[in-house]
Chain A
Amino acid sequence: MILGLAALSLCLSCGTVEPVSKGPRLSGEQIYRRQCIQCHGENGEGVKGKYDERLVGDWSIDRLTKVIAKTMPEDKPGTCTGADATAVSRYIHGAFYSPEAQAHNKPPRIELARLTNRQFEHSLADLLKSFTGDTAMGNERGLSGTYYSARGFRADKKIFARTDATVSFDFGEATPDDAKFTKEEFSAQWFGSVWADETGDYEFILKTENGSRLWVNDTEKTLIDAWVSNGQRTEYRATLRLLGGRAYPIRVDWFKFKDKRASIELRWRTPHGVAQVIPRSHLLTQRATPTLVVTTPFPADDSSAGYARGVAVSKQWDEAATQAAIEVANKTLVQLETLLRTASATTNRAQKAREFCGQFVERAFRRPLTAEERNIYVESQFVQPGPLENSVKRVILRALKSPHFLYPALTAAPRDDHAVATRLALSLWDSLPDAPLLQAAVAGQLRTREQVRLQAERMLKDPRAHAKLRDFFHHWLDLDKGESVAKDPKVFPEFSHELAADLRASLHRFLDHAMWESSGDYRQLLLADYLFVNERLATFYGSAKLTNGLGFEKVAVDASRAGVVTHPYLLATFAYADNTSPIHRGVFLARHIAGRSLKPPPNAVQFKDKEFKPGLTMREKVTHLTSAADCMSCHSIINPLGFALENFDSLGRYRTHEQGRPVDVTGDYATLDGQTLRFASARDVARHAAESPHAQRQFVEQLFQHTTKQAARAFGRETAAVLWQGFAQADCNVPKLLAEIAVTAALHDTTTKTVAK
């Protein structure tokens, strides 16, 4: 929804106009055709050279009327007022201006889309995993450590085994236990898994003066081989790409032999973090199986609609997808013996290779193959003479470059069950259906809403669903911006990258807790009276003392704070390097939290602090800067939201004064339905967003789009409203909403365009 009429400055002269005064009352449409059409076009599409923009937006008829009466026609404002203005407003609102009118005129449809990058990489990871197998991770944190009294890790030299919370030891010139080890020589091995929250490059670091080796996500090849030491404490580094929301096997071998001192630290730097010892919270004693992670870089997906979609292809994308397919084929060939469960000499190797290829293609296409397809995609590739590996490589390449893999919606009618499974898996996991889901499809158990809901609830428990929701929050809270938060060291010397990394982790911890460990209530996201802090954050923000100092703890905050609205990470992100920014915060709250739509500003005016009289508060500066009428059409929404957060400085710390003057956070905010709310605190804003039906509906729609990669309206005009009603009745439970969205999309019958009951 867009704010249309507000950009008044772009409307050029409309030419001669007939005054509307005497004579019989004209209809709204008639007035429009006489007075407005020259600039705004027949259906509000705009006229080049006069008013280029489409007449669409989310204002109420009332508001439109007021604006028309005050400012239209442009060259003679005040000549279309009263009943005339109301009539015109009603007409355009119903004919083409409102979202409903837009949807009616051109109903959105489910567009053909390719896999998004995230779906591509997770599908491939799970495709290979379906052959190599997976392990349940359990909950025990830390790594399993075994300690030996000699190098070589021989069983007869084992002294003890235990779970270590982290691998961070400095024995100095001594040993883990002087009664059991000799100073000259001892060693240890640690096994387990490391948990990656986000997708990206992870830098692993072994810091030691002794010999060590590190394996991550590979049980054969080392990531770091620093076996040969030189007696100096050294940091050995290597970078590895990992997919977020998954566990990866990790192993450390370490030994001391005649070095003077002994120490070892297992550290990492996560994609947006700072280097630190890998914390207990991200170590698991259970060893995961390796995951295939595609390392080929992809161009970013189209995000013009506010979420990543696969509605466009480009040369770069095609090249990347091809390179990735080659990468997967080569990596698969390396493990071929294991995958085929053969030694190279086995006589039925060709047979096993064909079977493997058949399964590979079926799983990639997410449905069984017809006999003809099996021939095309599998058998025909084995006809040419040459080594088996070449055939397998061709099969894999062909399958992964096929539209049946890349465009998951391309399923023919007879395979509806598999289409349901495909859509469910993409919605909840951005990946392929797993074995139980495929079995349900084959058994015809994905027909009713209840059956599909049962599967969805099972799938919600999988870490991939948590990762998908986390990905949604990444967009909903505009977290991309936070990745490059920087503050002026002269103004805020206390700011550091460590602090920013901790804040980011704190926000993620909060989201995980609120959604999966607590009530899952959307309103809690906005109104929660607690934060997660570690030692550094507790000190910085002056919250209660921590009890166990083992990472992040939940602490209560006072009523000045409210959920994500006042989370310091977001407050710091949407602020200048040396000051707050009510405009950035206001825009964020308007678009993301309050569900308003805002067009880009007609004149891009930069905020230059120097240009203001010294001693003005930020509020005063912003008010002055945005006081012009053209600005006010949007800023009357933005400013009260932004000002409400002025109690929090550029680092998100609470304050009552700014440069000695008291902070004024009050503001009047006009809702869409014409109400005016008075905000006097951040909590007021949060309460409005939490309880406003409009904001809730916007949340539902945004989650829908992110989940299905399609507009909600494409699934029926009432779909979003129905989902919202269910959401409201279920105490605004977000995971349940996610499941309902997935179920709705999965069962949607594309041929008859109705939503399954």
Chain B
Amino acid sequence: MNALARRQFLKGLGVSAAALPFLTGLPSLGLGATGQRKQRVVVMFSPNGTIPTAFWPDATGADFQLKDILSPLAPFKDQMLVLKGISNKVRGDGDSHMRGMSCLLTGTELFPGNIQGGSHTPAGWAKGISIDQELKNFFQSRPETRTRFGSLEFGIGVSDRADPWTRMSYAGPNQPVAPTDDPYQMYQKLYGQLRDKETLRSILDDVREDLRKVASKISAEDRRLLEQHAEFVRQMEKELTADDGRKYRATPPTFTAGVANQNDNVPALSRMQVELMLNSFVNDFARVATLQYTKSVGQARMGWLNITDNHHTLSHESDGNKDAADKLTRINKWFCGELAYLVKRLSETREPDGQGSLLDNTLIVWANELGKGNSHTLDNIPLVLIGGGLGFKMGRALDFKGTAHNRLHLALAHGVGHHIKTFGSPHLCEAGALSLA
């Protein structure tokens, strides 16, 4: 991952709760409690495949055991679905990594282009919309599910470049959506205006004082102009203090300043992003989110696990290299641990309208670009679904024996009431949506 030395980020955080329109306490009827439960979908991404023997449960059905990589999710086993046998069957231009990444959520081929991977033909962007954006559009099209942003794309250690390895979300053909991997920048996006307002309010009194002092020293005719000006300042002050009608359930998280966007801070950055996502859900800023850890071919160096090798490099070691397999297992287990943290936070946070926990109304999909790093296989993509948001029958391990992943996207769409017949390449949808309910 790049050491982003020149990268500027906003420090100076915290919007003082006292000054802002936040509600705490009991749910109020005014907060969109239509009786309809909310539905949310989160897609989490980690790269370079998995270690199959440490990932896949041996049995299928409700009676399955979690292996090492998935062990952090043990407290939520009954809310999980482990899906084996799902393949990314999209072919066409681009090498397996590029297709693994940019066809993962789009289910459609890449444009021919000028970006050359390690093999195959060069490629451009994906030819279609990704499922997270498809769901976002669906939610935004209906007043009852519309939110301020629709979707939020979070990243951790993504890198500055825009290419088919760093983008999995697409608003349409040739329209990649960039994740925000700087939590301060995401904070600014969500709360920047509020913070500006607070700073502004803190100086308006002084500005009026300035105008008054100055006005006393000039001629009567000129004074009139300054008096008018002072009146507008006073009005602005009043308007800033007044209730703008919008209420927030949760105060934004407090971040320590100065967490640089660098490899070694990935654990801290991960938690910051998760807290922001949680906060966004409580305040209903969005109902769709992505959480992208690094990128396809990601080279995280997980020093906090005492691993000094880079992720992608490790993933190319042969199966026989026990040391590499051990490290890769711990790396993937770390990713799972971050997922478990997100799940735990969702499970312990109540819905503002009182209808269960956030986890009850959210479905998280943890996906990967590849089945296995050293073979670049696109079969048996490690897939874990967790949460009650789409009403699937959870607490099982399933094996679909090599079916197209487009069918999973169809299941997600149908799960929120968006009854599309195909998603991505139509010929990969012929067997219809996966039956997960």
A interface vs B, CB < 8 Å? Answer: 109, 111-112, 114, 210-211, 220, 225, 227-231, 255-259, 311-315, 318-319, 322, 326, 329-330, 333-337, 344, 376, 386-390, 393-394, 397-398, 401-404, 407, 410, 412
Contact = CB atoms under 8 A, between A and B. Distances in A.
B203 A394 contact: yes
Contacts of A389: 10-12
22 contacts: A114-B225, A211-B114, A228-B115, A228-B124, A229-B114, A231-B112, A311-B225, A312-B225, A314-B232, A315-B235, A326-B196, A329-B199, A330-B196, A333-B12, A387-B257, A393-B12, A394-B199, A394-B203, A401-B207, A403-B226, A404-B214, A410-B218
Contact of B114 (A257, A388, A390): A257
B124 A231 contact: yes
Contacts of B210: 402-404
B125 interface: yes
The majority secondary structure among interface residues of chain B is mixed
B353 to A, nearest CB: 34
A255 B206 contact: no
Contact of B13 (A319, A387, A404): A387
- Rank and list the top 3 A-B pairs by shortest CB-CB distance, nearest first: A389-B12, A112-B222, A387-B12
A549 B3 CA distance: 50
B164 interface: yes
Contact of A398 (B196, B206, B218): B206
A430 B117 CA distance: 53
B12 A386 contact: yes
A227 to B, nearest CB: 6
A473 B411 CA distance: 66
A298 B437 CA distance: 56
Given A231-B112, A393-B199, 15 more contacts: A111-B221, A112-B225, A210-B114, A211-B114, A228-B164, A257-B116, A258-B121, A312-B228, A319-B236, A322-B200, A334-B10, A394-B203, A401-B233, A404-B210, A410-B214
A407 B111 CA distance: 57
A329 B198 CA distance: 14
Nearest to B227: A313
A214 to B, nearest CB: 13
Interface string B140-169: 000000000000000000000111100000
Contact of A344 (B174, B211, B233, B258): B258
A241 B219 CA distance: 39
Contacts of A112: 218-219, 221-222, 225-226
B202 interface: yes
Contacts, number: 128
Interface of B: 6, 8, 10-14, 111-116, 121-122, 124-125, 161-164, 174, 192, 196, 199-200, 202-204, 206-207, 210-211, 214, 217-219, 221-222, 225-226, 228-229, 232-233, 235-236, 257-258
B400 to A, nearest CB: 32
B113 A313 contact: no
A206 to B, nearest CB: 14
A394 B202 contact: yes
A543 to B, nearest CB: 46
Contacts of B214: 403-404, 407, 410
A255 B200 contact: no
Contacts of B202: 394
Contact of B236 (A322, A337, A390, A397): A322
Contacts of A313: 225, 228-229, 232
A407 B222 CA distance: 11
B219 to A, nearest CB: 8
Contacts of B125: 228, 230
Contacts of A227: 115, 161-163
A33 to B, nearest CB: 31
Nearest to B223: A112
A329 B199 CA distance: 11
Given A313-B232, A335-B8, A386-B12, A111 B222 contact: yes
A397 B206 CA distance: 11
Contacts of A403: 210-211, 214, 226, 229
Contacts of B112: 230-231
A247 B236 CA distance: 36
B84 to A, nearest CB: 33
Nearest to B7: A220
A407 B230 CA distance: 13
Nearest to A109: B221
A397 B229 CA distance: 16
B162 A220 contact: no
A256 B111 CA distance: 16
A315 B14 CA distance: 29
Given A228-B124, A258-B122, A393-B12, A318 B196 contact: no
Given A220-B6, A230-B112, A398-B203, A225 B162 contact: yes
Contacts of B10: 333-334, 389
A526 B428 CA distance: 74
Contacts of B217: 412
Contacts of A330: 192, 196
A318 B232 CA distance: 7
B200 A228 contact: no
Among B192, B207, B217, residue most surrounded by chain A Cβ atoms (within 10 Å): B207
A402 B210 CA distance: 7
Contacts of A256: 114
A329 B207 CA distance: 16
A119 to B, nearest CB: 16
A390 to B, nearest CB: 5
Among A109, A326, A329, residue most surrounded by chain B Cβ atoms (within 10 Å): A326
A398 B214 CA distance: 15
Given A225-B162, A334-B8, A387-B13, A230 B229 contact: no
Contacts of B219: 112
B116 A258 contact: yes
Given A257-B122, A313-B225, A315-B232, A228 B12 contact: no
Nearest to B229: A313
Nearest to B115: A228
Given A227-B163, A230-B111, A390 B199 contact: yes
A224 to B, nearest CB: 11
Nearest to B5: A343
Contacts of A114: 225, 229
A402 B207 contact: yes
A467 to B, nearest CB: 27
B207 A231 contact: no
A702 B148 CA distance: 51
A397 B222 contact: no
A397 B203 contact: yes
Among B125, B202, B221, residue most surrounded by chain A Cβ atoms (within 10 Å): B202
Contacts of B196: 326, 330
Given A318-B236, A333-B10, A228 B163 contact: yes
Contacts of B232: 313-315, 318
A109 B218 CA distance: 13
A663 to B, nearest CB: 52
A255 B236 CA distance: 51
Contacts of B228: 312-313
Given A228-B162, A230-B124, A389-B10, A259 B199 contact: no
B433 to A, nearest CB: 30
B114 A255 contact: yes
A334 to B, nearest CB: 5
A308 B235 CA distance: 26
A390 B12 contact: yes
B304 to A, nearest CB: 21
A228 B167 CA distance: 12
Contacts of B113: 228-231
Contacts of A386: 12, 14
A545 to B, nearest CB: 43
A436 to B, nearest CB: 29
A322 B196 CA distance: 11
B221 to A, nearest CB: 8
Contacts of A393: 12, 199
